[in-house]
């Protein structure tokens, strides 16, 4: 394939190995971050992490040297904070940033060869999954059914079920948004693993200072407010346990937790606090959703805790002997305070 990605692509996708080639070529040493002209890059990386911690995507885009150095600085900052929630949230929002660029590129790129190259570099090179253009319509993408099923199994919405997709000749046909959404978790994991694998020594002071600033500003303050996990039914306990580790829960699990907490009399603030560790936490959206479930917004209908059989069908039931024959988590024998 003689066609190559250009520097404009590397600015958007700095996690590609090819993108950081100029770092190798220019023999950039970590000490270079002590130079005054790097202040702009370190400040930019700090702002990028701050924006992400507020649950937003950092949208600014500059030339590729600036972007690759900012990306690298942000990885170092996050690593140095040594706070798992910051690491997870940064990985997620970096994945969302790349996702937005990739959807835009796949929708607007007129050159089919360039489009195929992007698909190859990102899907095949990074995630070992083949994605092609539909031979009859370059706005449609296709993926093998087996690859689709592996990735879509994490999604619970009806629209992702294979019966609701166009399937032909062993392929599933998808639009740009869908094909990119399918690899969001893998992209987030790729960035997460990059940070975990970093080995930092003799880090320049300007980076250390900014990392300390971020750690202080975004250190978790919610731990003491979390309810005692041991008091809840196994399904709720399991979900809270995952949440406290910064894992992303499916919508159905969030609904289960929120309706349960509302039913046992927890106030809106304390329920919103519970969702704080989620990598994609957004206070405004979470508060609206919890208020909606409480019947304070929208149709003013208060939502009930789903039944045990419904939770079982959604793979959210983690029954133990203590559950006995109960039909709803609210009937669990040890009702919390």
Q: At closest approach, how far in Å is the CB of 291 from ligand SF4?
A: 25
How many residues sit close enough to ligand SF4 to count as binding (CB under 6 A)? 12
Q: How far is the CB of 160 from ligand SF4 (least distance, A)?
A: 23
Least distance (Å) between residue 325 CB and ligand SF4: 9
Residues 304-333 close enough to bind ligand SF4 by CB under 6 A: 308, 311, 317-319, 323, 326, 329, 332
Q: How far is the CB of 329 from ligand SF4 (least distance, A)?
A: 4
Between 1 and 321, CB nearer to ligand SF4: 321
Q: Provide the 10 A C-beta neighbour count for residue 299.
A: 6
Interaction of residue 229 with ligand SF4, rule CB under 6 A: no
* Cα separation, 215 vs 62, whole angstroms: 26
The residue to which tokens 């003689």 are assigned:
2
Helices 283-293 and 251-263, packing angle to 10 deg: 60
Give dist(CA 130, CA 333) in Å, integer: 50
**H/E segment holding residue 218:** helix 205-218
Pick the stretch among 126-134, 171-179, 231-239, 284-292 that binds ligand SF4 (CB under 6 A): 231-239
The residue among 60 and 313 lying less far from ligand SF4, judged by its C-beta, is: 313
The minimum distance between CB 315 and ligand SF4, in angstroms, equals 11
| Nearer Cβ to ligand SF4 (28/330) | 330
CA-based radius of gyration for the chain: 23
In whole angstroms, give the CA distance from residue 80 to residue 72.
12
Give the pair of three-digit tokens for residue 28.
């950039």
User: What end-to-end distance do the CA atoms of the chain give, in Å?
Assistant: 65
Tell me which of 86, 235, 239, 290 binds ligand SF4, using CB under 6 A: 235
Question: Which of 306-328 are b and which e, b meaning 16 or more Cβ less than 10 Å from the residue's Cβ?
Answer: bebeebeebebbbeeeebeeeeb
Choose, by CB under 6 A, the member of 132, 222, 234, 268 that binds ligand SF4.
234
Scan residues 270-309 and list those touching ligand SF4 (CB under 6 A).
Answer: 308
Shorter beta-carbon distance to ligand SF4: residue 211 or 316: 316
Least Cα distance to 264 among 293, 305, 204, 292 occurs for 305
DSSP alpha helix (H) spans, 227-319: 234-244, 251-263, 268-274, 283-293, 308-313
H-helix segments, 82-183 = 84-108, 112-119, 125-127, 145-152, 176-181
Q: Which is nearer to ligand SF4, 95 or 317 (CB)?
A: 317
Q: Which of 233, 246, 277, 279 binds ligand SF4 (CB under 6 A)?
A: 233
Nearest distance, CB of residue 258 and ligand SF4, angstroms: 15
What residue ranges bind ligand SF4 (CB under 6 A)?
Answer: 233-235, 308, 311, 317-319, 323, 326, 329, 332
């Amino acid at each position: 394939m003689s066609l190559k990605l250009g520097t404009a692509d590397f600015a958007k996708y700095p996690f590609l190995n090819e993108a950081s080639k100029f770092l190798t070529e220019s023999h950039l040493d970590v000490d270079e971050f002590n130079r005054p002209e790097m202040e702009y890059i370190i400040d930019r990386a700090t702002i990028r992490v701050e924006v992400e911690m507020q649950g937003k995507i950092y949208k600014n885009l500059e030339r590729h040297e600036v972007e690759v150095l900012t990306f690298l600085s942000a990885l170092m900052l996050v690593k140095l904070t040594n706070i798992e929630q910051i690491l997870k949230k940064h990985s997620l929002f970096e994945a969302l940033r790349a996702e937005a660029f990739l959807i835009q590129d796949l929708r607007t790129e007129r050159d089919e060869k360039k489009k195929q190259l992007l698909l190859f570099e990102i899907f095949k090179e990074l995630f070992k999954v083949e994605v092609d253009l539909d031979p009859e319509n370059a706005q449609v993408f296709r993926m093998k059914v087996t690859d689709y099923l592996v990735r879509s199994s994490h999604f619970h919405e009806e629209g992702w079920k294979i019966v609701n997709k166009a399937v032909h000749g062993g392929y599933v046909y998808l639009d740009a948004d869908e094909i990119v959404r399918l690899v969001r978790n893998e992209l987030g994991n790729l960035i997460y693993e990059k940070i975990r694998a970093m080995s930092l020594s003799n880090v320049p002071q300007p980076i250390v200072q900014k990392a300390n600033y971020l750690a202080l500003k975004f250190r978790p303050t919610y731990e003491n407010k979390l309810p005692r996990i041991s008091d809840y039914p196994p399904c709720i306990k399991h979900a809270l346990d995952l949440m406290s580790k910064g894992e992303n829960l499916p919508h159905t699990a969030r609904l289960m937790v929120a309706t349960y907490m509302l039913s046992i009399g927890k106030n809106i603030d304390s329920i919103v606090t519970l969702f704080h560790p989620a990598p994609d936490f957004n206070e405004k959206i979470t508060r609206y959703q919890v208020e909606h479930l409480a019947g304070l917004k929208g149709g003013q209908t208060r939502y009930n805790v789903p039944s045990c059989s419904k939770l079982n069908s959604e793979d959210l039931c983690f029954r133990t002997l203590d559950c006995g024959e109960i039909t709803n988590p609210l009937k669990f024998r040890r009702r919390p305070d």
